[in-house]
Amino acid sequence: MTPEEAGPEPLDVILVTGDAYVDHNSFGVALIGRWLEDHGYRVGIIAQPAWDSPDPFRILGRPRLFFGVTSGNMDSMVNHYTAARRLRSDDAYSPGGKAGLRPDRACIAYANRVKQAWPGVPVVLGGIEASLRRFTHYDFWQEKIRRSILLDAKADLLCHGMAELTLIEIAKRLSEGKTIEDCRDIAGVAWALGMKDPLPEGGVEEVPSFEDCVANPLAFNQLTVTMYRESNPHCAKPILQRHGDRAILCNPPSQPLTTAQLDRLYELPYANEAHPCYREKIPAFEAIRGSITVNRGCAGGCSFCALTLHQGKEVISRSTESVVREVEVLTQQKGFNGIISDLGGPTANMFHMRCTSDAANKVCRRVSCLHPIRCKHYGTDHQPYKDLLHKVRDIKGIKRVFVNSGLRYDLAALDGDFVEEIAKNHVSGSLTTAPEHVSTRTLHAMRKPEVTHFQEFVRRFKQASDDVGKKQLIVPYFQCAHPGCGPEDAIELALYMKKHGLQCRQVQTFMPTPGTISTAMYVSGADPYTKQPMHVARGHKERSRQRSMMFYWKREEWPAIREALTTWGRTDLIGHTPDCLVPPGPARGGWIRQARAPEPVVGSMGMKVERASKQDVDEERWEGLNGSAAS
């Protein structure tokens, strides 16, 4: 909103975001802005302001109630840096993909400038960056334990999780003349107690202090376990953490939206366009322009994922009727090509899956409904999602409906014909799945299902594709350098990939982001629950070795793989037999002995398999002899 659009009347709430403004229900600040507006509040949005002075934060005037500050749809540090701590060259949430339009740790920078611009106006933090940094957290980019973001941002309140209900209650109380301090008992908020503020008595779970977490990694583990234990809004206790002579008090999460409320939220009058001030396209918006969100939350509880803490373990789904209405509106929009690029959410086939026991759900403290075994109370009925796919497919103006968001393949295999339905009608040539790894030890640390579930899913998908005469591929995502993954596990994954002819479109190197169980493992070198020591790949060299193993089929990676195998004492995997990963030749910095192409590999999962040609090998020999082998 520009000053001209704001008009003479003061705005009630001003939201500051690190993303370009896109008025679409996949963008958090648009959801919150429209939600507040729907409840009668006048809202302005300052998108990607310059942060070198307070002036850009004065452009819409002084809000009547509060400023809401978020880094955007992503944590700003994840947005800026790769897992190797290299600066990214682009930003999908900025016009033209241009990098550098938001600061590092954007919540802190923005909140401090708002405080300079408007002393006395309450500042409320929200979004994933704030939510996952509300307590002491590990910062991978500084390699240190940092204190709560509330203290560095000097904000008045922090809303954690999905904050629609929390923000409406804050706005309501402030509109009634109450102070920001009067909002401290609202579910889903955290705040910093001052030196003179009394500590609460009774009913509070106290976790190790900031100083304890810095001094003892096992104390950091205890903090993480408690955060997850107290993440169920039906039974969680407030959490207190001391920071020197101050403390952070965090209320239990707010209750999740009902289906009716979620329908209302996603059907608000979004323009479904980027703001007209932008002359270049927003890549993140272009990627999801034809997609529809049908649910939020995830019951999987993977160790490396923060969805349990942020969106919640309880899956909340829209009604089929609401989704159909949104699709019908989409078909009337100019330029729509008749293709729904994705009909899903964090886990698409968890649509309307839920705990079948309200009594159990109200006291449950499990991190995952599916690991190590599926809870007997967790429903796995795929019929609601299949019915939704059928109805959307039959809407006039719809040509194809694809599923490109995550599918939980172990759940998919429990349904009699779901895999076949997806293969027949909802794949655009390739289907992405995320087995993450194949080593039992690593998968257990990740809280992922055994690889046998993935294999069964692939078998059924291939058979179903063949039955309808379609040549369709499975595109698996694998992850390297996760805690619990040692050299033997990395080699096991590489051998599995070669055996099955798998070539990854991309590989994810584990990044320890704030708030996850995997990050606690990385910091402490121990399982937070069992306290058993576990292998942790630290440093660029060890992490890059594991990454190289996953590209066994790339000639340019062979020197790095040879170096890794030599270091790990597995030179038996360097040779010409089908059981070897790479042919003999130079390691990084070494000299070549002899090289010829490895045996062709037949892909058993419908994946394209590339093999080295004699010309490739001859070129590698030349590079090695001239001291310029790939590194």
The DSSP line for 306-359 is -HHHHT-SS-EE--HHHHHHHHHHHHTSTT--SEESEEE-SSGGGTT--BS-HH
Output the pLDDT for position 505: 66
Q: What is the pTM of this model?
A: 0.90
The alpha carbon of residue 424 and the mean position of all alpha carbons in its chain are separated, in whole angstroms, by: 29
How far apart CA 413 and CA 415 sit, in angstroms, is 5
DSSP character for 598?
P
What confidence tier does 622 reach under pLDDT thresholds 50, 70, 90? very low
Q: Is 225 exposed, middle or buried (CB count within 10 Å of its CB: 0-12, 13-18, 19+)?
A: middle
pLDDT of residue 527 exceeding 50, the answer is yes
Output the pLDDT for position 597: 36
How far apart CA 205 and CA 255 sit, in angstroms, is 19
Residue 404's contacts (CB-CB under 8 Å, 6 or more residues apart) are: 291, 341, 342, 344, 428, 432
- The mean pLDDT value for 31-44 works out to 98
pLDDT of residue 591 exceeding 70, the answer is no
Output the pLDDT for position 148: 98
Output the pLDDT for position 469: 95
pLDDT of residue 600 exceeding 50, the answer is no
pLDDT of residue 367 exceeding 80, the answer is yes
Amino acid at 624: G
Output the pLDDT for position 66: 98
Output the pLDDT for position 628: 24
Output the pLDDT for position 412: 94
pLDDT tens readout for residues 139-185: 999 999 999 999 999 999 999 999 999 999 999 999 999 999 999 99
What confidence tier does 620 reach under pLDDT thresholds 50, 70, 90? very low
The CA–CA distances, whole Å, from 382 to 201, 448, 598 equal 46, 20, 44
- The mean pLDDT value for 301-315 works out to 93
pLDDT of residue 195 exceeding 80, the answer is no
Output the pLDDT for position 329: 95
What confidence tier does 4 reach under pLDDT thresholds 50, 70, 90? low
pLDDT tens readout for residues 469-524: 999 988 888 999 999 999 999 999 999 999 988 877 678 999 999 999 999 999 99
- The mean pLDDT value for 379-392 works out to 97
pLDDT tens readout for residues 339-360: 999 999 999 999 999 999 999 9
Of residues 274 and 335, which shows the higher confidence score? Answer: 274
Instruction: Enumerate the domain spans of the chain.
Output: 3-202+246-250, 290-428
Output the pLDDT for position 626: 24
pLDDT tens readout for residues 396-425: 999 999 998 889 999 999 999 999 999 999
Q: Which CATH number fits domain 3-202+246-250: 3.40.50.720, 3.40.50.280, 2.40.240.20, 3.90.1170.50?
A: 3.40.50.280
pLDDT tens readout for residues 430-439: 998 889 999 9
3-state secondary structure of 377: coil
- Smallest CA-to-CA distance from 293 within 255, 236, 350 is with 350
Output the pLDDT for position 91: 97
CATH of region 290-428 = 3.30.750.210
Output the pLDDT for position 243: 96
Q: Is 589 exposed, middle or buried (CB count within 10 Å of its CB: 0-12, 13-18, 19+)?
A: exposed
**pLDDT, mean over the chain:** 91
